[in-house]
Structure 1
Amino acid sequence: MSIAAKLEAFRNEPFTDFKQEASKQAMEAAIAKVRSELGREYPLHIGEERIYTEDKIRSVNPGNLDETIGYMSKANQELAEKAMQTALSTFETWKKVPAKERAAYLLKAAELMQERKAEFSALMVLEAGKNYAEADADTAEAIDFLNFYAREMIRLSEINETMPLTQVEGEDNRLTYIPLGVGVIIPPWNFPLAICAGMTSAAIVAGNTVLLKPASNTPVIAYHFVQLMEEVGLPAGVLNFIPGSGAEVGDYLTTHPKTRFVSFTGSKEVGLRISKLAADTAPGQIWIKRLVAEMGGKDGIVVDETADLDAAAQAIVSSAFGFQGQKCSAGSRAFVVEEVYDQVVEKVVQLTQQLRVGLPEHNFPIGPVIDEGSFQKILDYIEIGKQEGQLLCGGSKAEGNGYYIEPTVFADVSGNARIMQEEIFGPVLAIGKAKDWKEAIELYNDTEFGLTGAFFSRDEDRIAEALDTMHCGNLYVNRKCTGALVGAHPFGGFNMSGTDSKAGGYDYLLLFTQAKLTSRKK
């Protein structure tokens, strides 16, 4: 079968099963195709201009450090200002484009991305270090975001007809949702297509113009998304692409008086810095900047003695080690009641020891972490963990010409230990013992974060109480705490996990609009 035929078979599958030889071969063909295009230089997109800069970001394959994905042009403050002025000018026309017309761009982009999903996924395998399933799910989520936000914008544009206001005799009252203005979009590297596309498309379809500053670890994936939006005919200046330093470009735009909103996904530390900078009023600023922030997590799974222990152990391992634990929703903690503690720990260790580490392009379950900084930070936390708990498996770097770390499990960890409290963002799991299910929930709640959690039990009364008392934005019962689906599991957390913005939910677009009431006397 030719490469073209393999890719055609891949893109026509609604859900990709890589146990099927045809799907596996299609992904291998896509990786080969993407690899043939590596090492290119990429420009900024500001309006109709394509600007190559001398200063560049080198994107590296984290699983093979000898391989360069591409060289991304890097914006400075002068170019950021140029992008801001372009976005401001374009906003005056874009905000007048009917919602259905704006939505049509997203729907077309979703269609084209579906046709090219193998290539998008293959690029994530190489640039982000995702295995086949993780990359495929990322692309699928991006497609879902584009479709969902397009249809949701159409619904919002018709809300006065579908959800009429209380009638007042002699008046014609209408509520419309209008765009905010120019926004800064700062997506993360761990979902470099899905979250980038979701954050950007939500702002655009609501009628705003945007400045997209992608994560420096995965700029090439973001560039391909920008190219896709250009291909579907999105007017120049609506989406401006300005990779650059967070300290230089990010801070400059966050504090800019013409920035109307900032949409950010990333760490707690960076999110709090953005919140502080955005809260200050710059000279000439006439609004309170809106911040949409999805930050960190220290998520966990609670298991009681009535639970299906095999299912619980599988969920713990999947939640902890999917994409090397580099998800804000990753289940990096587990609290198990003492009656079944030893059984669950044994099952978790057995499953973890089956996970093999290697190149994502060869579809190993565990690949590299994203970069040198993360690599060293995670290894440092592992050394801390050796003082705070019992190391049962893993505990060191793994072989390979990349940032490989063994999936690591610590048991008998107290609730106040650093590896129980601080976000590690790597393949490290801490397990603690609780005297009963109520104490397990208390231990789970003892964190500054509140993003995802899971409760395993067969007791309906306990489940009811867990649903009421486990404090997080996304709580799951008898399933893993990762894997939110657009439209089904609106995603966002409490406390230091962010503004609970609920991406993929029916009120998410409201964050990029402002409601205007008009009342006309008849």
Structure 2
Amino acid sequence: MNLVNNAIINVPEPTNEPIYSYAPGSPERKAMQAALKEMAATKIEIPIIIGGKEVRTGNMGKVTMPHDHGHVLAEYHKAGPKEVQQAIDCAVASQEMWRSIRWEERAAIMLKVAELISKKYRYQINAGAMLVGGKTVFQAEIDAVCELIDFLRFNAKYAEEIYRNQPTSSEGVWNYVQYRPLEGFVFAVTPFNFTAIAGNLPTAPAMMGNTVVWKPASALVYTPYLLMQIFEEAGLPPGVINFVPGSGSDVGNTALASEHLAGIHFTGSTRVFQSMWKTVGENITKYHAYPRIVGETGGKDFIFVHSSADAKQVATGIVRGAFEFQGQKCSAASRAFIPKSLWGDIEKEVRAQMSTIKMGDPTDFTNFVGAVIDKAAFDNISSYLQYTRDNDGAEILIGGGCDDSKGYFVEPTVILATDPHFKTMVEEIFGPVISVYVYDDADYEKTLRLCDESSPYALTGSIFAKDRLAVGTAMAALEHSAGNFYINDKPTGAVVGQQPFGGGRASGTNDKAGSAANLMRWVSMRTVKETFLAPSTYEYPFLQKD
């Protein structure tokens, strides 16, 4: 039984976690290099975790380095339908315990997780994101450490704000709202490209009192397993988050078929999300309640340039926006619309910057680009480059080389398209490839409409312009083209607490990770009205005779 808490407790005011620079000679650079060396030399075995207990099936998957795919860092046990059902049963059985715990205690656990990542496990988490996720040290730092810490700290504060949001009361009446956890379990399905997202998708529902079945991406099992160990150290009770790596069909089919499915928290491909939604629709009559479906999916993110823009700023936005983390971001710049009057200067600057980019092992901190995540990604990206070589409507202008002999390396590539509907201009590639369409300066507004209408996605986008009227025109024309819109900046790098993230159309449900709006999806409100002096007769004053 919980102790009585006769206090209204304020969550510490969150601030964004400081980003370490890892500059030469800095203590963090030395500590990071030591962690990389130690973890690269250590092979681990990753179990399934159900109710705090390790489960081993013997059906194994491998965790390899994208830049050296012959180097096996870990082997993990894959969950089958039996283990997934056990995880569901455990999550459902743990509901009463977890929902009965005061919200301040749940918040304290999440805040301790954040502190452990910040102070004790910073370099191990970053090293995992680099060795297994293929990130540079800076990309790992802003994702796997800083953004995840921000999610945890800001979500605790958002939870407090939600619980404090109460209705007014009239004379003789006390009204209030309870924010109840959902009935059943939340199915968290997380992607390979962000450890922060992998950590946020199960912990956000758990913060609000829900229990979770967590399926990490097969290409990113390593850092989620490290997080599970940190959750345990922080005091998260067994059964609140159950860790079930495995194939999408083995895990997903069982989870979606359960009558206890209360919600889906998903980041991944549009195709998979749409398939899951369809399955939920087919099963809708069997669920105890309508499942909450929250998803962030694909993108065909744009940089739109007006003739008043600064060419060097645009070029930097293209290089950083398209090629950081090998373009493996839902928000990565994948298409650019550039006016003829600026194209010559922008192309020259892009070439100059790209000529200095180094590609290779991310443990060499001088490399800006690493390998793409796996063979499937390499083959998919390569197919788009080959398609461009084989068809009219576009040409490879810069880069285009591919080599998977040791690691899955794809050169940063710029494609120049004469056809604005060319395949690489409209389809998501998820690699270090950006397609450029050059338009007549006089066709600014016409091309804005083209940008809006030529892609099914609406995740991120940016406008580069010094002319404020041109910015306003773009804001209006592209109102529904991006859930996160940037002015004179690359379309990547959303910060928790500053730019809540998510998009619409085929890019997802736009429930804005890193905001209170997302946490509201994991509660079911109950309105309570207490009347202090209840009426004792049905008669109203108006019924009396004159």
TM-score of the pair, normalised by structure 2? 0.90
Q: Aligned pair 1:442/2:446, yes or no?
A: no
Q: Aligned pair 1:272/2:279, yes or no?
A: no
Residue type at the aligned position of 1:48: G
Q: 2: CA distance between counterparts of 1:177 and 1:373?
A: 43
Instruction: Give CA deviations for 1:310-364 in whole Å, capped at 9, x if unaligned.
Output: 1111001111101000000000100011221222122222222221111111131
Residue type at the aligned position of 1:500: N
Q: Please list, as runs of the form range in 1=range in 2, the aligned pairs for 1:443-458 lying within 5 A after superposition.
A: 443-445=450-452, 446-458=454-466
Match of 1:461 among 469, 472, 475: 469
Match of 2:201 among 199, 202, 209: 199
| 1:284 shift after superposition | 4.0
Contact conserved, 2:400 with 2:411, CA < 8 A, in 1? yes
Classify the secondary structure of the residue corresponding to 1:66: strand
Match of 1:72 among 76, 100, 115: 76
Contact conserved, 2:162 with 2:516, CA < 8 A, in 1? no
Residue type at the aligned position of 1:441: L
Q: Please list, as runs of the form range in 1=range in 2, the aligned pairs for 1:270-419 lying within 5 A after superposition.
A: 270-281=272-283, 284-363=286-365, 364-386=367-389, 387=391, 388-398=393-403, 401-419=406-424
Match of 1:153 among 159, 172, 187: 159
Q: Aligned pair 1:88/2:92, yes or no?
A: yes
Contact conserved, 1:99 with 1:157, CA < 8 A, in 2? no
Residue type at the aligned position of 1:222: P
Q: What corresponds to 2:104 in structure 1?
A: 100
Q: Aligned pair 1:186/2:189, yes or no?
A: yes
Instruction: Give CA deviations for 1:15-55 in whole Å, capped at 9, x if unaligned.
Output: 21133322332221110122233x22111111032111210
Q: Please list, as runs of the form range in 1=range in 2, the aligned pairs for 1:134-283 lying within 5 A after superposition.
A: 134-138=139-143, 139-160=145-166, 165-180=167-182, 181-191=184-194, 193-281=195-283
Contact conserved, 1:349 with 1:392, CA < 8 A, in 2? no
Residue type at the aligned position of 2:62: R
Structure 1 spans left out of the alignment, 5+ residues: 1-12
Q: 2: CA distance between counterparts of 1:518 and 1:385?
A: 62
| 1:300 shift after superposition | 0.6
- Cα RMSD (Å) of the superposition? 1.4
Q: What corresponds to 1:27 in structure 2?
A: 32
Task: Provide closer, same or farther for how the CA distance between residues 422 and 375 of structure 1 changes in structure 2, counting only shifts above 3 A.
Answer: same
| 1:399 shift after superposition | 7.3
Instruction: Give CA deviations for 1:435-457 in whole Å, capped at 9, x if unaligned.
Output: 23323322321210000000000
Q: 1: CA distance between counterparts of 2:205 and 2:396?
A: 45
- Number of residue pairs aligned between Structure 1 and Structure 2: 504
| 1:169 shift after superposition | 2.8
Residue type at the aligned position of 1:157: Y
Q: 1: CA distance between counterparts of 2:213 and 2:292?
A: 15
Contact conserved, 2:458 with 2:504, CA < 8 A, in 1? yes
Classify the secondary structure of the residue corresponding to 2:86: helix
Contact conserved, 2:36 with 2:363, CA < 8 A, in 1? yes
Classify the secondary structure of the residue corresponding to 2:410: coil
Classify the secondary structure of the residue corresponding to 2:338: strand
Structure 2 spans left out of the alignment, 5+ residues: 1-16, 533-546
Residue type at the aligned position of 1:58: K
Match of 2:486 among 468, 476, 483: 476
Instruction: Give CA deviations for 1:153-197 in whole Å, capped at 9, x if unaligned.
Output: 12222222xxxx243333211122111131110010000x20011
The ranges of structure 1 where at least 4 consecutive aligned residues each deviate by more than 4 angstroms after the TM superposition are none
Q: Please list, as runs of the form range in 1=range in 2, the aligned pairs for 1:5-24 lying within 5 A after superposition.
A: 14-22=18-26, 23-24=28-29
Q: 2: CA distance between counterparts of 1:380 and 1:518?
A: 58
Q: 1: CA distance between counterparts of 2:498 and 2:282?
A: 36
Q: 2: CA distance between counterparts of 1:283 and 1:410?
A: 48
Higher alpha-carbon Rg: 2
Residue type at the aligned position of 2:22: F
Q: 2: CA distance between counterparts of 1:238 and 1:167?
A: 35
Residue type at the aligned position of 1:389: A
| 1:506 shift after superposition | 2.5
Q: 2: CA distance between counterparts of 1:323 and 1:333?
A: 17
Classify the secondary structure of the residue corresponding to 1:447: coil
Contact conserved, 2:284 with 2:290, CA < 8 A, in 1? no
Contact conserved, 2:180 with 2:525, CA < 8 A, in 1? yes
| 1:496 shift after superposition | 0.1
Q: 2: CA distance between counterparts of 1:284 and 1:334?
A: 46
